Amino acid sequence: MKFTIAKEQIADGLQMAYGIIPSRSGSLFLRSLWMKVENQHLTIMASNGEVEYGAIFHADVQKDGTIGVQGREFIELVRKLGPGDLNFQLEENGTALFMDQEQQRFYEIPIVNTDWYTPLAEFPEEGAASFNAEIFREAIDKVEYCIVEGEENQKPVLEYISVQKSENDMVEICALNNNQFAVMAFENKSLADWLGEEGLFIHKKFLNDIQKWMDQGEAQINRNDNYVFFRKTDKTQALTIRSMKGTFPQYRGVFESVVSNKTTTVTLDRKETIAALERLVDFTSTTSPEVIIEFSETQARFNCQTQNIGKGQEILDITYSGTVDKIVFMLKQILPCLKHLSSKKIDLLIEAPGKPCAITGMNDENYKIIIMPCIFTEETYYEEKPA
C-alpha cells in the first residue's frame, strides 16, 4: 500500500469521521479508521455500530491496499499538520504505516489487524430519492429543539423526528413533546413520493451527524430493513444510520384548529420580544420557570419572579385584538420557538389561556409552531381576617 494525498483535501472528511468514531468504548474495529486505496482513489471509513461514514478522494496511488489505524489518534495527528502532501507507505512486514510530509515530518503508525475490517453497507441504487441537503438540514434545525431531552416520563417516540409526506405532496419534518411541536414543510416531489405512507423516523442521537454531513448541494436517500442511507449525488460521501420503526403522535389539524378557533391575536416585534425574554431568564428558576404576559390594547407586560432573585418586568408595544388579557408560558420553551422564526413581526394566536397557542410569521409560511400555555395558580400563603 502506497499513496500520496494533500492534507487539506481530506481534512473535512477526517473531521467528520472523528465525530463518529467512539472515544473510548467499543471494539477495536469501531475505534479504527479504515483506509482503502485502489483505482487512484482513497476511501476512508468509520463506524460506531449505529452510524457509518465513508468518503472517497482522488489520490496518487502507487500500490493498492486496505489498512486500519487507531482512528481518533491518527486524525488528531493529521489535524495538527500544516497544508501539503502526505505520503503513506505500508511497512514491508505489514505492521506499521509510515507517513511523512514534505520530507520534514516522519511518523510510524501502528496498524490494526485487517481481520477486523468489515465493508460498510452499500447504498441501494434502486428507488433512491434526491433532495437538497441544505434545505433538509435547515428543516431539521427548525424543529429539533422540540425533542424531549431525557425526561423519564415521556414516550420514547418523542426522541425522534418524523419525516412525512404531507397531504399536498410536500415534505413535513416534525418534532414534538408534551408542551410544544414544530413542523417545517418544503417542496420535493421525489422525496415525498419516496416517503409514501410509511414516512421516516430519525432518532435524535443521529441528528448531529446528519446535520454536519449535510452541507450545500444535492444528495440522495434510500433505505432497507436495517439502514437509512444518505449519499452525495456525486457519490463522494455517504452516511448510513440505523433504521427506526415506530409510530408518531397525530399532529396534523392541531395548528389549523387553533387558527380557526382563535379569540385573540397579538402581534409583536420578534427581535424585541427575544431580547426581553433573554433578560428575564435570570428571573426564572426550576421552581418558578414561567413568564406571565398581560395584554392591553397597545402593550404587553412580561413578568417573571423568583424568591431569591426578585422580579423582572419588560413592556413591549403590540398590536392586539381579542378577549384574552393574560397568558403564561414556560419562558425557556417559548424562547426557542421565537428564535427559530425568521419574520420581523410574529403573531401569537390564542384560543383560551389553557389551550394550545399558535405562533406564526409572514415570512414563515411553511413553518408551524404550537405551544401549550401553563395553568398558573397564584398561591395565598396567609390572609388577614377582619377584626
What pLDDT, in 10s, does the model give residues 222-233? Answer: 999 999 999 999
Over residues 322-339, mean pLDDT: 95
Q: Which domain does 358 fall in, by range?
A: 254-371
- Residue 379 in any domain: the answer is no
- The β-bridge partners of 69 are 33, 111
Domain end: 242, 267, 291, which one?
242
Residue whose C-alpha is closest to residue 44's, from 121, 125, 122, 120: 120
Kindly indicate the confidence band of residue 381, based on its pLDDT and cuts at 50, 70 and 90.
very low
Q: How many domains does the chain have?
A: 3
Q: Kindly state whether residues 37 and 146 are assigned to the same domain.
A: no
Q: Tell me, yes or no, whether 378 lies in a domain.
A: no
Q: For the chain, percent helix, then strand, then coil, each to nearest 5?
A: 25, 40, 35
- What is the average pLDDT across 242-264? 90
As a whole number of angstroms, the distance between CA 14 and CA 68 comes to 14
- Asked if residue 344 and residue 285 are part of one domain, the reply reads yes
154 within a domain of the structure (yes/no): yes
Could you tell me which of 201, 222, 209 has the C-alpha nearest to residue 147? 201
Considering the domain architecture, whether residues 201 and 224 belong to the same structural domain is answered as yes
In terms of domains, do 360 and 275 share one? yes
pLDDT band at 115 (very low <50, low <70, confident <90, very high): confident
Q: Do residues 335 and 277 both lie within one domain?
A: yes
Count of alpha carbons within 13 angstroms of residue 334, beta-carbon side: 31
Residue 238 and residue 144 share a domain? yes
Q: What is the pTM of this model?
A: 0.88
- Residue at which a domain ends, from 82, 116, 150: 116
Q: Last residue of some domain: 91, 116, 141?
A: 116
- For residues 222 and 312, membership in a common domain is answered with no
Percentage of the chain modeled with pLDDT above 90: 79
Per-residue pLDDT of 164-187, as tens digits, reads 999 889 999 999 988 899 999 999
Q: What is the pLDDT of residues 183-239, one digit of tens each?
A: 999 999 999 999 999 999 999 999 999 999 998 789 999 999 999 999 999 999 999
Task: Flag whether 53 is in a domain.
Answer: yes
Residue 65, domain member (yes or no): yes
Same domain for 229 and 294: no
- Note whether residue 340 is domain-resident: yes
Looking at the fold, whether 87 and 144 belong to one and the same domain comes out as: no
CATH number at residue 36: 3.10.150.10
Which of 51, 45, 15 minimizes the C-alpha distance to 33? 45
Q: Is residue 247 part of a domain?
A: no
- Are 296 and 359 within one domain? yes
Same domain for 266 and 363? yes
Instruction: Report yes or no on 107 lying in a domain.
Output: yes
- Cα separation, 133 vs 220, in Å, equals 9
Same domain, 205 and 265: no
Q: Are 144 and 225 in contact (CB under 8 A)?
A: no
Report the C-alpha gap between 250 and 110 in whole angstroms: 53
